A and B are shown apart, each in its own frame.
Chain A
Amino acid sequence: MLIKLSGGKVYDPVHQVDGKVMDIYIRDGRIVSRPRDDETIDQTYNLNGKVVMAGAIDMHTHIGGGKVNIARMMLPEDHRADPSQHSALCRSGCGHAAPSTFTTGYRYAEMGYTAAFEPALSPVNARQSHLEMGDTPIIDKGGYAMIGSDDYFLRMLAAKKDQNAINDYVAWIMHASQAIGIKVVNPGGINAFKFNQRALDLDEQNSHYQVTPREVLKALSRAVHELRVPHPLHVHGNNLGVPGNMETTLKTMGASEGYPLHLTHIQFHSYGTEGDRKFSSGAAQIAEAINKNKHISADVGQILFNQTVTASGDNMRQFANSTLGSPRKSVIMDIECDSGCGVVPFKYKDQNFVNALQWAIGLEIFLLTDDPWRIFLTTDHPNGAPFTSYPHLIKLLMDKTFRNDMFTTLNLDAQAMSTLTSIDREYSLYDIAIMTRAGAAKLVGLHDRGHLGDGAGADITVYTDNPDREKMFEKPDYVFKDGQLVVKDGQVVKVTWGHTHTVKPEFDRGIEKDIKKYFDTYHTMSMENFKVSSDEIAEGGRGGIVVQACEGRREKSL
């Protein structure tokens, strides 16, 4: 089967293609540079005047796992307002803040996204994450295994185990939980909360283990680097949401001593303490530090005004915030000497000083960070806003007039505290293609996605070049997934099952002897059952595992 996409304006930053009119050929699900001489074209799509990009990749979105399902279960009132009907093609479900899995897959695809990554896959809960992602159609997916507050790891740090042993454990976790990255959430803090500590700064010790978040970050970022995992250590820092936390964030950038770090939903970690209300924007300093520190990347975690739900592994901070929730309810959990979670519904309001300033801080970070290869478009779905608001966010970045008009409707005190309107930058389509495709694929380590070169998986999105960028990005003309037309005019026309992307770093399996002993002595499940098998993920014919190359990508800087 050979398909020709004819005459579209192509944005493919991996190959420095910036709006060039060119043809793209797809053979059996892969992009090929040109047909063989003897080959006939089976189908041609005339894309004159259309914009062509690789399928978009959401590198941080909570789409599957225990806390997402708690959020779903907690919020029947939110689902009722957004029912999704079943059709001849699609299963029914519901949308908004914590959509059902089938609806999640359809809506991502209908927005031109072809991959999404669950960033907080708790290893002990990995089976559930993969079950949920297995019921998420069309898009590719994967997860970052969340460690750093697990007792096994902290025992290793406290016992001063050497880095090789830590590397073996980290690799073992990635295999066991079928992950493509490693994430740390409030490094050591989830564990400290179980010992009744209520805050943990970068250099503060866990009262039981006597180790600091800095030590956790250093050991894990080095492990990820030495195992040659392409995705840098994914860091949700200490002190999320706390006024003044920009200092912690700036110090965190140095904590890995040059090993790559990805600082996630950095908007929530960029707060100063200036002004009458002791809450101010740290965006300028944070963006400047990202610009300067080449080993740092970040995604923003933009907030947008509406009802949503915050779901995080950071039960220490979520417990502290639980009284701010709306509607006022929360679930806080300690989980299996492995992790924790906190789910707090939240309504961001444009007339609320803090919320309005959070909105401006996120946009300031987007616009003041120079390199679109190191800053990523997220709302930390659903924590800042549901993923379905991405087209609106893209318009805010690409359209200064629209942005400034929105700004003038916000809480006046917040307006007075923000420099947003003094920033003239508008993102280009090329920048957006970097942020949401090329850069995201590089960051996650998807070697055959996020670009339109020879051999790439044919995940392709075609848009009408509408000056209203929200309209443009919310309804693509065509979306191809592995060469199959899955969306036409913003509607699903075919349901496929995407791949689960993983990496499998090499390690010394001798470590299993000690891990097994730990499970047998302390756990309530066996080590073998902790592991998620590839067969479980492929069950029911719903996609399978793709093992991406684990050959590193980023250099240690400094």
Chain B
Amino acid sequence: MARLFMKGCEAIAEAAVRAGCRFFAGYPITPQNEIPEYFARRMPEVGGTFLQGESEVASISMVYGAASAGTRSMTSSSSPGISLKSEGISYCASARIPMVYCNVSRGGPGVGSIQPAQMDYFQATKASGNGGFRMMVFAPSTVQEAVDMTYKAFDYADRDRNPVLILADGVIGTMMEPVVLPEMKSDEEIAAIKESKRKWACVGHPLDYANRSWIQPGQWSTKLQQEENEKAAALYESWEKDIQVEHYRTEDAQVVIASYGISARIARSAVDLLRKEGKKVGMIRPITVSPFPYKAFDALDYGRVKAILDVEMSIPAQFVEDVKTGVKERCPIRTCLCSGGNIMSREKIVNAVNSILEGM
């Protein structure tokens, strides 16, 4: 397959189209505008629908509707826009509606800055709306990963009847990088996917059909609501098998960086540079940040590892809270942070690692 040079946002949108996404609704916000822009041009070519809603709330609600009718559907936004969508995301989770959305995150809180940041970690992994639901959350560190994750996200969403989040950032969204695109699903495959949802989706049932679809984002009976919550909890438990994590040069490491997404990519280049100087540094990179690979930290030999260095583009640090849960006080955890739209620098990480090594 030939490499194409694509912008992250456009590559994500094309990956969704190839996965069979045939409905996208969105609303403009920097730095994710190229996602709706791309869909606006692309959807008519494949017989899909692009809609620009009158707001974020409208566009997530349109996705709720289209996905309820069995169509692979997607929305995207950037940090404050994702907050506005949180009501609809929670409704999708409650009604067990499969859909995929992407957060091309920027500085925060509030309107923040339009530049890249990783300040939506808690929102993405702990509380993307009311009600304590959870989602699988993928954190790409390259444009290729963003493509592969988006393509696969629709399968996870359909399997679980649950929303799936691609947690990107303003660097991944706006940078261009070579990608190899996945195969385009045929119209027949897409029709078969839709048909497979007949049991629950509003795909058009005869009047006498016994299991007529009824999409409900909540239950009037407390008993039924608890049952639904228990089913959802069991689903979340089952994700243990879906955890994805990368151990990078950790075998003999004395300092282990914990990082994800764009920061992890920069941290990797810091590890390579430090290794050339003979320094024993490695990295644990969660690829799924929900479910989080807590057990990856059990694989470390704490007789050898002197410290964990948390690297993320958020002040205050957020990802570090999950790292702490994984490390369980077996060694000190330091942080290397930036935020506000500033991009993590390799030199900063190198300096942070060196200061740990010097203090050992």
Note whether A and B form a binding pair.
no
Residues of A at under 8 Å CB distance from B? none
